[in-house]
Structure 1
Amino acid sequence: MSLSYFYVNRDKEQFFRCGLDGLNNRFNRVGTEPGSRALAILLSEHGTWQGDRIAVVSDSSEEFEELVIRGIDIGVEVQLMLMKFDGLGWVEECLDVSISMFQRMCCYALLLRHADVTVMLDRKYGPGKWQKRYEKHLQGNTDLQSQRVVDAKNRALDLLRRRED
């Protein structure tokens, strides 16, 4: 089994998959997926990770095992931040290769009532058709995506710095 890699903020005890949820998280893709763009934003003057100790860690490391116990997986917040910062173009590209990304976007549309995501899904799959596809998927699968989205909503963690006027 291949290893997955995560961007880790050691100071804040936060982490997310290098490829974001559903995309390639292998070492050869570190720095090339939308997750690396999100990392760049977090480390810039726009993000809340600027000046923190950051690492790339595999899921087989002892550090990662400890992080899963006491840290926070901020994958949902990172996707929402990237969507806010860069728009949805990258998401549309990912939908063709990742069922997990489709599931997550359905959760954003249904649970967070994210209007832009709903419009994108309607345009790509047809009005209401994406909901039927999602419901069909849920019939035979565990819905971990919804729980992750609800957890993130409850955390209300903002990863972007507020602009001072």
Structure 2
Amino acid sequence: MGFSITGKNPEDSIGLIAYSFYKLEKNQYAEKLRATGKTTQEIDLAVKQFHEQVVHTQLRLDAYRDNARTMFSRLLEDWEEEIRKDYQQQIDIIENKNAEIENLRIEIDRKRKIITESDIIKNQAIEHAKEEAIIWYGGAINYTRKKITNLAMGYGIT
């Protein structure tokens, strides 16, 4: 009979799992009989009877499928939990990287502001030095003119 006792077709995941439960129980039954000293013929006969009971008892077939659904459901829940954890870890990593980027932006803006303020102060100092140089140059020219005028007067040159 094989797979048809628990599933409609080989694509039926629940049926495949249900069949594995059937095979597990059948194997455990045979092992129990072997452990009690039954002969191979007795075990074969008992396993065939077990099979016939399962095939003709819808409640038992339904129990295999219910167990399969439960197992499949648990597997999906476990996978979902693992995926959620991995996803959350990735989100946490991204959020940490975004926080690092934001901190770097803040630091860059702070340094840019310091550089801008420094450039303003430097430019003001240059402008002040230019003004001082112009004033000094103007004073030097006036001083030189006075000297020349005084010298010229001293020589009688006007």
Q: TM-score, length-normalised on structure 2? A: 0.23
Greater RCO, CA 8 A, separation 6+ = 1
Q: TM-score, length-normalised on structure 1? A: 0.22
Larger Rg belongs to: 2
Structure whose residues are more often helix by fraction: 2
Structure whose residues are more often strand by fraction: 1
